[in-house]
Amino acid sequence: MSKGKIIVAGGGIAGVSVAMGLANIGYAVTVLEQAPEFGEIGAGIQIGPNAFHAMDYLGVGDTGRSKAVYIDKLILMDGTDGKEVSHVDIGEDFRARFKNPYAVIHRADLHAVFLDACKAHDNVTLVNNVVVTGYENTPNGAKVLTQNGQTYEGDAVIGADGVRSALRRQLTGGDELKLSGHVAYRAVLQHDDMPEHLRWNAATLWALPKRHMVHYPLQGWKTFNLVATFVTDIDNVGENEPGKRDEILAAFEHLAPEARALLEVPKDWRRWVLADRDPIDNWVDGNVVLLGDAAHPTHQYFAQGACMAMEDAVMLAHQLEKHEGDFSGAFADFQTARIPRAYRVVLSSREIGKHIYHPAGAHRLVRNAVLAAKSQEEYRESLAWLYGGTGLDGIAD
């Protein structure tokens, strides 16, 4: 006997992780995904210790850790002069402080950790090719409406349908998507294509005014992830569309030559326009709740969007268990716990973008001086609110 039935709209990292959390505590969960297959794009992702705490709670921590690459450092390079500004050591002391590692992982591998667990769980049903268009609260729960006219009804509905969420549009009346003018180019390189002088066991960020490039190893060092982001006035860039080699090379013409050599390598680029949304103070309408990017889409500068989605999954499961199936009590406590933390990441990501990733002129020199003066202990403690407490104190840390 299940405790009740929950419909999840969207099968990204938020959707499959919350499905696991709810299935583990006895709910029958149906996940509706618009794509013909469940999966993730071919690119890397960084995950902090807080994400591993969340995975542990969700029962997949060991599998997650087995797929990750354990880098030693997060390095900030000044892309103008090619010199290291500073680094955060994420070795032994960092792990001891936060009781889990900081790591990088291929997105498909991270998603598969949850997807495989969902497939193996009797309480989870995965349905593809379903485009959710809206929801309705019903006398006994809530239902989702879909493009093909079918409805899926349960005791509650969860909107995990990403930054352009249809359920959020209805719930908020349509709040504005904030296109930042930041365009990210992504590519994954085979190990042998990575210039030898850049094969570092680190997540390395090369910062230039209004642009930056990040690279790190993936998949047991078989591949390297490469992301290059720049601020532009192009307003017609879409999502996951083919990139233009000339455009990316021109955008980084002032990058130190030893780093710029890397941008010459990829034959196939994909590009995305980046967006977030301003914080809102309500994610709930009756028995419907938002989570993941549908609730708090963020720029990638803290590398925490997916980590926050996994934390959401833990908190929602925890609150539903605590409230013994009282959805309105659970959803209210869920958002009270999550709104300040998730939006701290959203707002801080905007600030980091401006002050650490993209400053120019004297502002750049201030950044370099301030960060170079920080000790490793200072770095760890300044990140403790994020990686330490996990926002799940006493639940999953």
Residues that bind ligand FAD (CB under 6 A): 9-15, 32-35, 45-47, 130-132, 160-163, 166, 184, 227, 272, 274, 292-293, 300, 303-307, 309
- 132: nearest Cα among 142, 118, 121: 142
Report the alpha-carbon distance of residue 229 to residue 248 in Å, rounded: 9
Identify the three-state secondary structure at position 91: coil
To the nearest whole angstrom, how small is the minimum distance from the Cβ of residue 332 to ligand FAD? 21
To the nearest whole angstrom, how small is the minimum distance from the Cβ of residue 373 to ligand FAD? 26
Residue with Cβ nearer ligand FAD (3 or 67): 67
Residue with Cβ nearer ligand FAD (274 or 368): 274
Structural element, H or E, at residue 257: helix 257-263
Token pair recorded at residue 162: 């990403």
According to DSSP, the residues that pair with 288 across neighbouring strands are 157, 285
To the nearest whole angstrom, how small is the minimum distance from the Cβ of residue 34 to ligand FAD? 4
Residue with Cβ nearer ligand FAD (14 or 189): 14
To the nearest whole angstrom, how small is the minimum distance from the Cβ of residue 275 to ligand FAD? 9
To the nearest whole angstrom, how small is the minimum distance from the Cβ of residue 15 to ligand FAD? 5
Residue with Cβ nearer ligand FAD (208 or 368): 208
Residue with Cβ nearer ligand FAD (68 or 132): 132
Q: Following DSSP, what letter does each residue of 181-200 receive, concatenated?
A: EEEEEEEEEEGGGS-GGG--
Residue with Cβ nearer ligand FAD (4 or 12): 12
To the nearest whole angstrom, how small is the minimum distance from the Cβ of residue 1 to ligand FAD? 28
Report the alpha-carbon distance of residue 195 to residue 215 in Å, rounded: 11
156-159/5-9 β-pairing: parallel
Backbone CA torsion sign across 125, 130, 133, 136: negative
The identity of residue 228, as a single letter, is A
Report the alpha-carbon distance of residue 304 to residue 302 in Å, rounded: 5
Residue with Cβ nearer ligand FAD (149 or 257): 149
To the nearest whole angstrom, how small is the minimum distance from the Cβ of residue 140 to ligand FAD? 23
141-146/83-89 β-pairing: unpaired
Q: Count other C-beta atoms under 10 Å from residue 65's C-beta.
A: 17
The identity of residue 388, as a single letter, is G
